[in-house]
A = this chain, B = another copy of it.
Amino acid sequence: MLTIIALRPYIKMHFSQFDCQTLFNIFQWRRDVRHFLEDQVPNNIIKKLQQAMAYAPSVGNSRPWRVFNVSSQPIRKQVFSNFERANKQATRQYDTQQAEDYQRLKLEGILSAPVQLAVFTDTNPTAGHGLGRQTIPFALDQSTAMAVQNLNLAARAYGLGVGMVTILEPKEMETLFKVPPAWRFSFYLCIGWPKFSSDLPLLHTLDWQKNQETEWLEI
């Protein structure tokens, strides 16, 4: 039975203009990182990343993200092989010049990142009792993506870089990690101390895709 409790009266939780600016600085300096130093990442910071994910919104409060902390070298190598195959295939979509440009891009840091996380989404979690996901089942995937964005921002605040690898065959990832049938591959994250820092996306800097405004439509 649902417990009806008195909601606490409005609690003042005021963030200052400085706090807002701090948040926007973290937004601006959070960039996908693929160039890592070899230094290890202390466990207490890893715990903060886990906590950042736990604070993410999730449909029905279901927290559907499932995270593997991947330290096994054989597993990392297989993830890298998966990337190499998928990347070779991806190159075929481009004509000669663009294919050359594409191949010059560094799109992952699997061989160098000290911390690597494989993130899956449970598409049928018990938690949440199905609330909010009947018409939009991918609200679960969206919840996982939001949790990963919290992780991205927390990592940046602690000085860490995160690279999100999407050039992977998801079915192979599900087989490699032997996940239950209801789990869907969502993200592979490479985490470590960045070799350099920027407030611009690397793909902008390297002229692959310049930043562009996204206008909102009025209706």
Contacts and interface: CB of A to CB of B under 8 A. Distances in A.
A219 B52 contact: no
B214 A53 contact: yes
Given A13-B197, A134-B89, A166-B139, A206 B24 contact: no
Nearest to A186: B142
Contact of A212 (B53, B127, B196, B207): B127
Contact of A23 (B154, B187, B216): B154
A93 B61 contact: no
Interface string A127-169: 1111111111011011111101110111011110000101111
A167 B75 CA distance: 39
Nearest to A171: B135
A80 B105 CA distance: 46
A203 B70 CA distance: 32
A26 B22 CA distance: 11
B2 A61 contact: no
29 contacts: A1-B97, A2-B100, A4-B206, A8-B198, A11-B197, A13-B25, A15-B22, A19-B25, A22-B22, A23-B23, A23-B157, A24-B48, A30-B55, A60-B203, A60-B208, A65-B214, A66-B217, A69-B216, A72-B219, A105-B131, A132-B166, A133-B166, A135-B168, A135-B170, A142-B187, A146-B148, A146-B149, A153-B153, A177-B219
Given A62-B209, A128-B209, 9 more contacts: A2-B206, A3-B206, A5-B207, A8-B196, A11-B196, A13-B197, A86-B135, A135-B170, A145-B145
